[in-house]
Amino acid sequence: MNRRPLWQITVTVAVEAEDAVCEMMERVFARPATVYAREETSMSLISVFCEKQSAWNATRRKVMVSELRQIEACGLRAGPIGIAVKKLRPVDWAEAWRSHFRPIEVGLALLVKPSWSKRRPRKGQAVVVLDPGLSFGTGQHPTTLFCLQQLVETRYPSRPQSFLDIGTGSGILAIAAAKLGYAPVDAFDFDPEAIRVARLNALKNQVHRRISLRRQDLTDLPLNGPGRYNLVCANLIFDLLLEQSRRIVKRLAPDGTLILAGILGSQFDKVRRHYQGEGLKLVKNLAVEEWQSGSFNLEHR
């Protein structure tokens, strides 16, 4: 059992905005969020749990406030909003998550399952073993699932293909890419804790020698640096997708595909138009409830 204390960051919002705020919290903290709804008040308490008090800082608070304003601007009534932080006694959170995490199949090519699952893969099916815990990214969320689906659909075993994961979180996409035969596979994240967990997950899946994982701030990534990839995934918050679009597109090979995931449906057209201005065209998109994701190719293809 994990005997270290945890820090709980909780946002109280109207039930109507529950899903949108939950997704926002997961992205900002790179961890899964839990939801408790109070029926008598029509309010929801959405929490993330961090091992270090420093996880709650001025930068994250600023991003959260900005995202909450955007959620309300999209027509979802979020207020009145309250943000609270408190220290908790140690709890075995991995055990608590067991009842919520089930194996998922991505076509016939990929199976993602927890270590305690006895589910056997189909013949020729790659397997990613990933246990839920404090790190975000288990494949259960539809935005992560869309990225996994695109990894499978875009893979051509007869040709070499490279992959870049921007904002890797638990490392699930990079691990799946390595299992599917992408090479090289590079991944980075701003959060050092995410990189630590991603490296552990890569080691558990025996692909640690096939993945380059590093801590990197997207805003500091050289605009014209080396490295172009056949497939790039950016599962990021809305503001970063717009503000750093040139840096993201510059990582794409001429014949490459860019996956943008986890965007509010009401914001997706703005993202699509923005990336059209960068020379890309939308080739596939998927909307699940209020979320929308898409795949893009360069216009000259």
> Three-state SS across the chain?
CCCCCEEEEEEEEEHHHHHHHHHHHHHHHCCCCEEEEECCCCEEEEEEEECCHHHCCHHHHHHHHHHHHHHHHCCCCCCCCEEEEEEECCCCHHHHCHHHCCCEEECCCEEEECCCCCCCCCCCCEEEECCCCCCCCCCCCHHHHHHHHHHHHHCCCCCCCCEEEECCCCCHHHHHHHHHCCCCEEEEECCHHHHHHHHHHHHHCCCCCCEEEEECCHHHCCCCCCCCEEEEEECCCHHHHHHCHHHHHCCEEEEEEEEEEEEEHHHHHHHHHHHHCCCEEEEEEEEECCEEEEEEEECCC
Per-residue pLDDT tens over the stretch 145-201 = 889 999 999 999 889 999 999 999 889 999 999 999 999 999 999 888 889 889 999
Residue 77 confidence class, pLDDT cut points 50, 70, 90 = low
Which CATH code of 3.30.70.120, 3.40.50.1820, 3.20.20.70, 3.30.420.40 fits the domain covering 6-91?
3.30.70.120
Whole-number percent of the chain with pLDDT over 70: 85
Q: Give pLDDT, residue 89.
A: 65
Query: Where are the domains positioned within the chain?
Result: 6-91, 134-298
Q: Give pLDDT, residue 73.
A: 75
CB neighbours of residue 8 within 10 Å: 16
- Which fold, 134-298? Rossmann fold (3.40.50)
Q: Give pLDDT, residue 182.
A: 97
